[in-house]
Amino acid sequence: MKIFYENKKTLSEIIELAKNVKKIDLNIFKNDNIFIEGDNFNVMSNLLDFYSNKIDLIYIDPPYNTMSDFMYSENKISTVSFSQEDSILAYKDKMSLDDYLEFIRERLVLIYLLLSDKGTLYFHIDIKIGHYIKILLDEIFGKENFVNDITRVKSNPKNFSRRAYGNQKDVIYIYSKKIRNNIFNDIKIHLDEKEKIKLFPKIDENGKRYTTVPCHAPGETLCGETGKQWKGEFPPKGRHWRYSVDELDKLDSLGLIEWSKNKVPRIKKYLDEHSGKKIQDIWLDYKDPQYPIYPTEKNRQMLEMIVEQSSYEDSIILDCFCGSGTFLKAGLSKNRKVIGIDKSPIATKVIFENEELKNKLKLIKFCNSTNNTEIQKQFSFEEIQN
């Protein structure tokens, strides 16, 4: 699947552009958690020298081409995405559709090269532009490497005056570099109190919650262990025992089989042995903060879950549109090595004013525009201002 628009470069033209970006030596930071202020195409072109094929997880939440200016204000409650008197520009989000798609595509090519063979990309986007992005992702990653399309409920219901349904969701497209090779830790989520009572309605003599399931399951075993007679009975027609007859005997001796008045056996399943729920592709519990410090700041718990799901403790993870650094916070709290990039000086300010981030990240300023690449290795924002 391919998408056509004006001024679409060939892949080799994009690679050539990346090769011609002014080079800086980022290898000296290879053991550090870093935030680089600069255009992410230039920065990622530099990262390629050392991090090609090495990054296990990339989360991006780029501008969505909303035709807005996103403003920042010291007065946190008023930090929303429209102009106010006391606010300053954090970033612009206005391009033609063609330019926007090419801007994203150039960066996706570099992201693809940076991802390790077990790596995953999470691309956060809204429903207005998402479908175009999905085609770009199919083109660059290959349709076969599509993993999920997440529906994320981003806010409480809103009363729009538009003649349309309210929009509460955005989407996250997930692609792996190589399908079936991607890190996926199958993180489970805990049941809430209502679900515990619903799914484990019985209480035993020790006060422990449990439920029961049939001793048999669909599918017949003709000559296997699970098709044998147990306690004088064969499994019902078209079914087999869930366990071998020896194991069923063992469960019975441990008191883990419940016998009804009519002598029908069922296996007991206890709440405290339940590993939690598999996460599905509709995320209801990760709404964005009501009082963000930075415009379009994302939900921290959602990013922590993504980090735990799709990377290991020794993984390097990247957000090249990192804004206020929510993904970096999530990564550091889970002991990952983090790399953040953003071109907005306001993002730098917010990140290096944050107690959690400022002492853990090294700041590199990358400025390619003046032909005069500058690296500043700093430990705090105050030091840079001085």
Ligand X SMILES: C[S@@+](CC[C@H](N)C(=O)[O-])C[C@H]1O[C@@H](n2cnc3c(N)ncnc32)[C@H](O)[C@@H]1O
Choice between 56 and 342, CB closer to ligand X: 342
Choice between 107 and 337, CB closer to ligand X: 107
Cβ count within 10 A of residue 266: 15
Minimum CB–partner distance for residue 298 and ligand X (Å)? 4
Name the token pair of 65: 């081409």
Choice between 268 and 298, CB closer to ligand X: 298
Question: What is the spatial distance between Cα 23 and Cα 205, in angstroms, rounded to a whole number?
Answer: 70
Minimum CB–partner distance for residue 262 and ligand X (Å)? 58
Choice between 296 and 310, CB closer to ligand X: 296
With left for phi above 0 and alpha for psi between -120 and 50, is residue 53 left, alpha or beta?
A: left
Question: What is the spatial distance between Cα 149 and Cα 131, in angstroms, rounded to a whole number?
Answer: 11
- Chain centroid to CA 306: how far? 4
Choice between 62 and 130, CB closer to ligand X: 62
Task: Return residues touching ligand X (CB under 6 A).
Answer: 39-40, 61-63, 91, 294, 296-298, 321-324, 326, 341-344, 347
Task: Yes or no: say if 242 and 267 are a contact pair by the CB < 8 Å rule.
Answer: yes
User: Which residues 6+ apart lie within 8 Å of 29 measured at CB?
Assistant: 362, 364, 377
Residue with tokens 């049941």: 191
Choice between 106 and 138, CB closer to ligand X: 106
Minimum CB–partner distance for residue 252 and ligand X (Å)? 54
Choice between 38 and 265, CB closer to ligand X: 38
DSSP 156: S
Choice between 63 and 227, CB closer to ligand X: 63
Question: What is the spatial distance between Cα 155 and Cα 225, in angstroms, rounded to a whole number?
Answer: 52
Burial tier of 369 (Cβ tally within 10 Å: 0-12, 13-18, 19+): exposed
Choice between 240 and 298, CB closer to ligand X: 298
Minimum CB–partner distance for residue 61 and ligand X (Å)? 4
Choice between 13 and 220, CB closer to ligand X: 13
| Total count of residues recorded for the chain | 386
Minimum CB–partner distance for residue 216 and ligand X (Å)? 50
Q: Give the SS3 label for residue 7.
A: coil
Q: What's the CA dihedral at 285, 288, 289, 293 to 10 degrees?
A: 150
User: Which residues 6+ apart lie within 8 Å of 32 measured at CB?
Assistant: 361, 362
Minimum CB–partner distance for residue 334 and ligand X (Å)? 16
User: Which residues 6+ apart lie within 8 Å of 242 measured at CB?
Assistant: 213, 214, 215, 216, 217, 226, 267
What DSSP line would sit under 242-305, residue for residue? SS-HHHHHHHHHTT-EEE-TT--EEEEEEGGG---EEP-SEE-S-PPPSS-SSTTPPPHHHHHH
- Chain centroid to CA 139: how far? 21
